[in-house]
Structure 1
Amino acid sequence: MIKNIIFDFGDVFINLDKQIIFREMEKFGGELTLTPELLQLNNQYEVGKITSDEFLSGLAEVYPQASKEQIKNIWNGMLLDFPEERLQFIEKISQEGNYRTFLLSNTNALHIEHVEKIMGTEKYHRFQNSFEKFYLSHEINLRKPNAEIYQFVLDQNNLVAEETFFIDDTKENTDAATELGIHCWNMQVGKETILELNSKL
């Protein structure tokens, strides 16, 4: 019996344009692929090992034709809209009280600051308040798909893996959680939405 639900954030609640950085940075001499250098920089930033300024400086070295402000705008440009029906959906689940709800997101300080700006403080706080705990990778210094992050959430909240359901749009992340015994839904962006959750439980 499912008692707990862990939700991803990007493309589950807020829509993303993950390819924007490659499209836009190509104008500044960037490549259309995620190089090992960029991957390492992003991963360090997502677990809070480097500051926002250090991250932007690192990108500025990779893309010297772009200013830090241009890089920041492109980086935040991947964050799109947050449909109201998705917010109302998670609020309803929270209010009904049939499940303990948690958010678990690979994210960073620049994005969270921008998300609050996009949504507005009131709407963002409504979203936060729909979860018992709000876990952001850069705050807990762990990121998906490492097994430690899932175990951390289970241990911190005395959750039983077999009683827990996890939703994420990245198969690598749901595969890792499945190995711990967590039930998962690898949501297909563009084909499925979080509003279909009840049929997946």
Structure 2
Amino acid sequence: MIKNIIFDFGDIFINLDKMATYKAMAKLGVTEITEEMMEVYHRYEKGLMSTEGFIKFFHDKFNIPKNNLVHAWNAILLDFPKERLSFLQELAASKKYRLFLLSNTNDLHIKWVQNSLGAQFYNDFKNAFEQFYLSHEINFRKPDTNIYEFVLKENSLKAAETLFVDDLEENTISANSLGIHTWNLIPNVDDVTELFEKNKQLL
């Protein structure tokens, strides 16, 4: 029996254009993503590097104006459909499940989200969850299994009683390896508002 639901954020609640940052960076002259760049990105997403240090890395390496870099970095972030927030709030109000957010999110992205959505919308979203875990604040990132182990342990959750919803298959495979039930939601095919239609074990 499912008692807990852990949701991802990007392409679950807020829409993403996953290629937008690559395209924007290419326009700034960064056409190849190197291992070093990915390592810096992962360190930043785990909160092991400051926003200032992250921006400085790209500025120094590619001589990109800092404002242009921030704009390109945030290009991935799109809209947050209101019906998804309404669905989440109804789910939270039902008190049938313990709800958690678990997102690979960095400081620049979450600040853009807060400014874009506005304080009321963002707080309504955040307050629907019992715990709101962002990778840069807890120093773990998906698909590393230790991030799921952290959430389970911190909240005394049983994997067999937990459903994890994420748009990336590598993340759901990793969570499932610990015995967590998963829904690999496919953007533009599935929608989080279809949670109960697509996950009969919740009924």
**TM-score, normalised with respect to structure 2:** 0.95
Name 1:56's counterpart in structure 2.
Answer: 55
Q: CA deviation at 1:143?
A: 0.5
Q: Deviations over 1:163-190 (max 9, x none)?
A: 0000000111000000000000111111
Residue 99 of structure 2: aligned partner: 101
Sequence identity (%): 47
Following superposition, the deviation at residue 20 of structure 1 comes to 1.3
**1:129-174 Cα distance to aligned partner (Å, 9 max, x none):** 0000000000000110111100000000000000000000011100
Counterparts of 1:129-140 in structure 2, within 5 Å, are 129-140=127-138
Counterpart in 2 of 1:152? 150
- Aligned pairs for 1:16-165 (under 5 A) are 16-31=16-31, 34-64=33-63, 66-165=64-163
Whether the 8 Å contact between 2:167 and 2:186 is mirrored in structure 1 is yes
Structure 1: how far apart are the matches of 2:44 and 2:181? 29
Query: Deviation of residue 21 (structure 1)?
Result: 1.6
Asked if residue 195 in structure 1 is aligned to residue 199 in structure 2, the reply is no
CA-based RMSD of the aligned residues comes to 1.0
Alpha-carbon distance in 1 for matches of 2:61, 2:175: 33
Q: In structure 1, what is the Cα distance between the partners aligned to 2:194 and 2:93?
A: 18
User: Aligned partners of 2:138, 2:194: CA distance in 1, in Å?
Assistant: 29
State the Cα deviation string for residues 46-82 of structure 1 (Å, max 9, x = none).
Answer: 1111100101111223432x20110001111211100
Structure 1, unaligned runs of 5 or more: none
* Structure 1 counterpart SS, 2:10: coil
Q: CA deviation at 1:37?
A: 1.6
Cα distance in 1, alignment partners of residues 169 and 178 from structure 2:
15
Change (3 A) 1:185 1:62: farther
Residues in 2 aligned to 1:23 and 1:63: alpha-carbon distance in whole angstroms: 15
Do the aligned partners of 1:108 and 1:138 also contact (CA within 8 Å) in 2?
yes
Cα distance in 2 for residues equivalent to 1:121 and 1:40:
32
TM-score (norm 1): 0.96
Query: 2 CA distance for matches of 1:67 and 1:101?
Result: 40
In structure 2, what is the Cα distance between the partners aligned to 1:18 and 1:62? 23
Q: Judge conservation of contact 1:167–1:184 (CA < 8 Å) in 2.
A: yes
How far apart, CA to CA, are the structure 2 residues paired with 1:140 and 1:76? 21
Please list every run of 5 or more consecutive structure 2 residues that lacks an aligned counterpart in the other structure: none
Count residues with an aligned counterpart: 199
Contact 2:24 2:75 (C-alpha < 8 Å) held by counterparts:
no
Does the CA contact (< 8 Å) of 1:30 and 1:62 recur in 2?
A: no
